[in-house]
Amino acid sequence: MDRDELAAVVGVNQAGIYRYLRYLGADRPTAEDLVQETFLAAFKSRTAEQDLSSPSAWLRGIARNLFLQHCRRCKRSPVVVGSEHLEQAESTWQSVFLRDGDGFDYLEALRRCLQDLSTKQRDALDMRYRDKKSRSEMAQFLGISEDGIKSLLRRLRAALAQCVEKRLALDGTDFSGNG
């Protein structure tokens, strides 16, 4: 793996590895650090026979192990993970997010589904994810309890997941906007 190859591998896969680490439970700084460590570990352990044409699974394995080591080192980590937990997460990642390739289809489907949300639903998501308001702030603004906010967000995420599933099931990669 030379400089250009390494740069290419990092460029293509860093977003996916970062997303994967965040999905596993890493916070943003940790995920950012572990992304670097993942590629470095891959670089150190590379062999001449290493197939770099599709390194995502290999890189995810490295990232998963690094994250597990990180959690074990940080006993006060808010995320309690174990090898079984990570295996289940990996299974879901492959069967749900990557089932049609590299996750691009899933992301596109999600974007479409977000456009289908009602204004009230979208405002709730914007407050939570764009404005990064706490549940109490959202509860005060929307006039419902914090548990209500928690349930609302959970329902919205479930609805989006169902929407994505339906879109992917209906027309696969056809995201012409007619779905």
Partner 1 sequence: MSKETERLIHILLCEEIGSETVPDVTDRVLKRALQHDRHSWLRGVFVGHDQSGLKSALRGSGRFGLRGAAIAAVTAFAVVCVLAGWWTVGRYPEPQATGSYKLLDATEVRRGAVLVTEDQPASLALGGYCQVRLEPNTKLRIEGKRDAEQVFLEKGAVQCDVTPGRGAFAVCSRAGTVSVVGTSFSVKLLERKGAETLGSIRKTAWVLAVAVTAGSVSVEHNGGVFNLLAGSQQIFGEEPATGPKQPVPPRGAEKVTITGMGKALGHASGKLDPVVANATVTVKEHGVEVVYYIHGWGGIIIAKQADGKKVEVTGFLGEKNGKKTITAASVGVKIIVVEEEPSQKP
Does residue number 52 form part of the binding site for partner 1 (CB under 8 A)? no
Distance CA 82, CA 155 (A): 27
Distance CA 43, CA 38 (A): 9
Does residue number 10 form part of the binding site for partner 1 (CB under 8 A)? yes
Q: Give the number of residues in contact with partner 1, rule: CB under 8 A.
A: 49
Angle at CA of residue 97, ends 146 and 173, nearest 5° = 115
Provide, rounded to whole angstroms, the least separation between the CB of residue 94 and partner 1.
Answer: 11
Distance CA 45, CA 1 (A): 10
CA dihedral sign of residues 93, 94, 100, 103: positive
Provide, rounded to whole angstroms, the least separation between the CB of residue 91 and partner 1.
Answer: 8
Give the binding site for partner 1 (CB under 8 A): 1-3, 5-7, 10-11, 14-15, 18-19, 22-23, 25, 28, 32, 35-36, 39-40, 43-44, 46, 48, 88-89, 91-93, 96-97, 106-107, 110-111, 114, 125-126, 129-130, 132, 154, 157-158, 160-162, 164
